[in-house]
Chains A and B, each alone.
Chain A
Amino acid sequence: MLLRHTPTEILERSALTINPAKTCQPIGAMYAALGIHGCLPHSHGSQGCCSYHRSTLTRHYKEPVMAATSSFTEGSSVFGGQANLLQAIENMFSVYDPQVIAVHTTCLSETIGDDIPQIVDKARADGKIPAGRHVIHANTPSYVGSHVTGFANMAKGIVDYLAGGDDLPKNKQQLNLIPGWVEPADMRELKRLTRLMGFDPITFPDTSDVLDAPQTGKHAFYPKGGVTPAQMARTGASIATIALGPTTAGPAARALENKCNVAAHVLGLPIGLRATDRFIAELRKLNGGFVPPEVLDERGRLLDMITDMHQYFYQKRVALWGDPDQLVALSEFFLDLDMTPAYIVTGTPGKKFLARIAEVLGEQIRATQVRQGPQADMFLLHQWIKNKPVDLLMGNTYGKYIARDENTPFVRHGFPILDRVGHADFPTVGYRGALRLLEMILNIFMDRQDRNAPEESFELVM
């Protein structure tokens, strides 16, 4: 057993987190910043933070993740990191020529209290920021929130620094789309759906064509994807902002509403049938009331698979861990499949999560154990499973240790996925994404059934 020290008996903890179901803010900020075209993310802190975040994102995407660091030393920790950031800004513009530098803080620079806007102002006054280039920032203290919060904060930072155009005439086709923390393939899929619904979306952060760049034999230091500052400067002319994921995309949408007077429509992540329905319904309200036949067909194909394969889903118990927006959407979807979300765990704090989960689960909530925040970790989740097993595990790669020890089917979803491919290439949002989720779940259930079936009941047709 790999997790041989995890006891069945649950001892309440108040201080020790074991096998966390979250990581820290800055990595989310780095991921969001990569969704800006021509942007070099910059980590203001010790160089280990930047190294760890780049490594984790790289392992997840199998793609280059370029970012720089202020490389704090003991001296900077005592006297502040202003000199380091000034030098970093000069070096980045000299050597790497970014359009945008997106600075995020760390626990170190936050504890010291470095004032990033003041340092950036000084860099500008010193002539270190070339004309037309941008230095934006987000505060992302690692001891508050989680990686999800960091994403939300940088998405909001993009709005704070780059959004504009409220004086432009409204463009009825133009829509702001804030996808939340999803994969490049998901962002591509969300843009496709939005276009099918008749809009020309400005999508941010947009990591498609950044973290799924093609192999051409030439490395594009700044890949072709990402929202441009020029696009951001037109967001004020959009008829609405659709934010997908209250936790990750909500704050940016509300900031844009305040700054440029564009109505914020904050929805859940469109993972699964009904969440996608709500996304399409919201777009339908804005486009004069039409849903193109392609989208209806995609919805129909998803329903078709659910009706055809319902027996394999029915009453299967599932354990979920990960990020709030994903967990809410997946819980609802599993319920629609007549599966049972048995355990739900997220390390990410936030007041609304439990209420949202309660809302989607309804009556089912009584059969579900949900834990959020401190000590809501994969150690506790594993203990629950040891007390009463599940039929399916769904979450990030770290679940593989539980899956192996408990001999439980496991579908990888969320962040990080360090040991499989496909998550960056094939979406799980929208009707087509839901179809892919079903395919993954069915394959693993059916493979398991094939493996375990006695010879006399081994089935050809399933």
Chain B
Amino acid sequence: MMSPPDDKPIPMSPSSETAAASPSPASAMEAFKDDLLKPYPKKVARKREKQIVVNQNKPNISLPQIQANVRTIPGIITQRGCTYAGCKGVVLGPTRDIVNITHGPIGCGYYSWLTRRNQTKPPTDSDENFIPYCFSTDMQDEQIIFGGEKKLKAAIQEAFDLFHPKAIAVFSTCPVGLIGDDVHAVTREMKEKLGINVFGFSCEGYKGVSQSAGHHIANNQLFKHVIGRNNTPHPGKYKINLLGEYNIGGDSFVIEELLERCGISLVATFSGNSTIDAFENAHVADLNTVMCHRSINYVAEMIEKKYGIPWIKVNFIGAKSTAKSLRKIAEYFGKQELTDRVENVLSEEMPAVFEVQNEIRKRCQGKTAMLFVGGSRAHHYQDLFEEIGMKTVAAGYEFAHRDDYEGRRVLPDITVDADSRNIEELHVDPDSDLYNPRKTPAQLEILKKQGVEVAGYEGMMAQMDDQSLVLDDISHHETERLIAHFKPAVFCAGIKEKYAVQKMGVPCKQLHSYDYGGPYAGFKGAVNFYREIDRMVNARVWGLIPPPWEQSAAATGSPGTLADEEDPDLPQSHARRRTPVAGSDE
């Protein structure tokens, strides 16, 4: 791996074999953790020590504490991105009818131009869709020296003159904060002048410790400038919003269709396949359902405070979770006709799903997975692996907080550090006209007794096995060691990790972009994912990597077969695979 040039390669994790052979699984995992920390300078090791946890998931024992949402260690090779990415890229990116102008040098707008795969489907060819466009003020040194407000104003005017959009949003990049451009003053002025909604985000990349700060900033501004502007009643009977679903690979399309079949009306999705009109009207829904807790729980909480709409955690990733989420929504509304309709849809969908599960489980049962991504997917996707008999041995988030690991019950114990304090916490009061609690405290209590916890999230660790490994903000070094030690059948991460992992002989599934596949949500998506993982972990190519002349003597003279003994360098799941013989079907 990290062999210095002109030198012999350093043997990979020399102590890992002994750790793996150790009799006590508890001490083995702790020993592995110690080994992981060894190359770090002391100060770094002390910090990482708290962000790497051997899970304790036993009855009557509370989950161990993990350190999360803390500064990234410089030089460590992190997966994380910045606040701008979380704000413009993640939360606002999927909305099709806002002209999103990046205020800054060209790069930030360029890299967030169409790269996140949030699909959108305008109802007609003439409806607005600005997603294929990149708008930037392309800041030059002149603006760095003399300020960029004038150019920003002109850019907003030009965007208006060209497109006459319903709304224009402005996203600040790093230098904007430093040179002191007041984007909010500029957007206020232009809003007055143009008569459309114009608003800004102070989402400079250096704020916070990861994308997470950008989500929070996006939530705040959506709440301040957009939600609640349109009080038109929505005709639906069971009206919900879907929060934290970004329509990667068409996930929202699947969920939209499913909800419709159940008779549930979707007022707004934040923000997959969304429009600003839907955002403005979101407060007329009667329930907020939260997919990605990390990126959007702020909006859910603020809407609850201001308008009295409760929120529940849902998960449409995995067939079981999808069914559970639909039932949860039905229970919340408590109407038999809705329950019946949901059950009807489930009975239509589930047999086909079970059939594929059974077929694929034969080939995937007992294999292992690792998931290091995002702020909810590393948890949600464990369900899908479970459904085909695969076990998650290690997982972690890129930018989550302690509550996403340990559950919301730890919220009061989370220390607010300087980095979090920099992100505005909006003070929200009930709206004097529109506050209307959809459920009384007594009704909420009854729901809780039925197992529908309102405003609750259990977190990732409660679902993970005892002695599994949980790592927050994993580094490249740790990724490499984990793969060498555990040899998982599949590793889930993002584009930056993808090819390094695959070069180690292990297939890597991107859970940000879905490797340009999907959808993976709902029942249809679950089936897609089972088949995708089956394809990946059972692909013949992984058994073809060592040339035949480097395999053991048993293979020579008999092309197409692999030696019986395992290649110690190959991941366990592939080592036993035989090189396919032409015409044979394994």
Q: Is A425 an interface residue (CB 8 A)?
A: no
B476 within 8 A of A: yes
B83 is an interface residue with CB less than 8 A from chain A: yes
- Complex formed: what's the CA distance from A69 to B80 in Å? 10
CA distance A46 to B44 in the complex (A): 19
Q: Do A222 and B106 have beta carbons less than 8 Å apart?
A: no
Contact of A215 with B503 at beta-carbon distance under 8 Å, contacts A23-B106, A54-B496 already known:
yes
Chain A interface category by residue count: 35 or more
Is B291 at the interface (CB under 8 A from chain A)?
A: no
A14 located at the interface, meaning its Cβ lies under 8 Å from any Cβ of chain B in the complex: yes
**CB-based contact B2/A97 at 8 Å:** yes
A7 nearest CB neighbor, chain B only: B162
Q: Is the CB of B72 within 8 A of A71?
A: yes
Q: Is A122 an interface residue (CB 8 A)?
A: no
Q: What residues on A are CB-neighbors of B505 within 8 Å?
A: 217-218
Residue of B nearest to A224 (CB): B5
Q: Distance in Å from the Cβ of B82 to the closest Cβ of chain A?
A: 2
Contact between B174 and A77, CB atoms less than 8 A apart: yes
Q: Is A96 in the interface zone, CB < 8 Å from B?
A: yes
Q: Which residues of B contact A53 (CB under 8 A)?
A: 111
Q: Which A positions have Cβ atoms within 8 angstroms of B?
A: 1-5, 7, 11, 13-20, 22-27, 37-38, 42, 45-49, 51-56, 58-59, 62-77, 84-85, 87-92, 94-99, 106-108, 111-112, 141-144, 146, 213, 215-222, 228, 347, 374, 379, 398, 401, 418
Which among B75, B113, B154, B501 has the greatest number of chain A C-beta atoms within 10 A? Answer: B75
Contact B158 A95 (CB under 8 A): no
Q: Which of A51, A77, A111 contacts B81, CB < 8 Å?
A: A51
Q: Which residues on A sit within 8 Å (CB–CB) of B143?
A: 143
B interface residue count range (under 10 / 10 to 19 / 20 to 34 / 35 or more): 35 or more
A-B contact pairs, 24 of them (CB 8 A): A1-B125, A3-B133, A17-B136, A24-B106, A26-B107, A47-B78, A55-B496, A68-B76, A71-B80, A73-B206, A75-B418, A77-B177, A77-B178, A84-B74, A91-B41, A107-B139, A108-B178, A111-B174, A141-B144, A143-B105, A220-B503, A222-B3, A401-B132, A418-B115
Contact of A11 among B162, B177, B501, B502 (CB under 8 A): B162
Complex Cα spacing A142 to B115, Å: 20
Nearest CB to that of A132 among chain B residues?
B4
Complex Cα–Cα for A46 and B173 (A): 10
Report B-chain residues with C-beta under 8 Å of the C-beta of A215: 502-503, 545
Q: Mark B72-106, 1 if CB is under 8 A from A, else 0.
A: 11111111111111000000000000000100111
Contact among A42, A46, A66, A220 with B174 in the assembled complex (CB-CB below 8 Å): A46
Q: With the chains together, A84 CA to B78 CA distance in Å?
A: 14
Say whether B85 contacts A63, CB under 8 Å.
no
Nearest chain-A residue to B5 (Cβ)?
A: A38
Could you count the A-B residue pairs with CB atoms below 8 Å apart for me: how many are there? 295
Interface residues of B in 188-242 (CB under 8 A from A): 204-210
The answer to the question of B565 belonging to the interface, with a C-beta cut-off of 8 Å to chain A, is: no
Q: Identify the closest chain B residue to A48 (Cβ).
A: B82
Query: B107 contacts A23, CB within 8 Å?
Result: yes
Residue of A nearest to B129 (CB): A4
Q: By the criterion CB–CB under 8 Å, are B2 and A96 in contact?
A: yes
Closest to A77 in B: B206
Q: Are A142 and B72 in contact, CB atoms less than 8 angstroms apart? A: no
- Please name all residues of chain A whose beta carbon is closer than 8 Å to the beta carbon of B129 when the two chains form the complex: 2, 4-5
* Residue among A3, A74, A213, A228 with most chain B CB within 10 A: A74
Smallest CB-CB A-B distances: 4 pairs: A48-B82, A24-B107, A88-B75, A46-B205
Contact between chains at B82 and A46 (CB < 8 Å):
yes
A71/B78 in contact, CB under 8 A: yes
B570 an interface residue at 8 Å Cβ cutoff?
yes
- Interchain CB contact under 8 A, A219 and B1: yes
**Which residues from B are CB-within-8-Å of A46?**
82-83, 174, 204-206
Determine if A218 and B206 form an interchain contact, defined as CB atoms under 8 angstroms apart: no
CB closest residue in chain A, given B12? A218
Q: Are A18 and B133 touching (Cβ within 8 A)?
A: yes
B167 within 8 A of A: no
Provide the bound-state CA to CA distance between A395 and B357, in Å.
44
Inter-chain contact A69/B175, CB cutoff 8 Å: no
Contact B178 A112 (CB under 8 A): yes
Q: In the complex, which residues 1-17 of chain B have their Cβ closer than 8 Å to any Cβ of chain A?
A: 1-6
Minimum Cβ distance to chain A for residue B452 (Å): 38
- Interface contact A59-B495, CB-CB below 8 Å: yes
A71 contacts across to B, CB distance below 8 A: 71-74, 78, 80
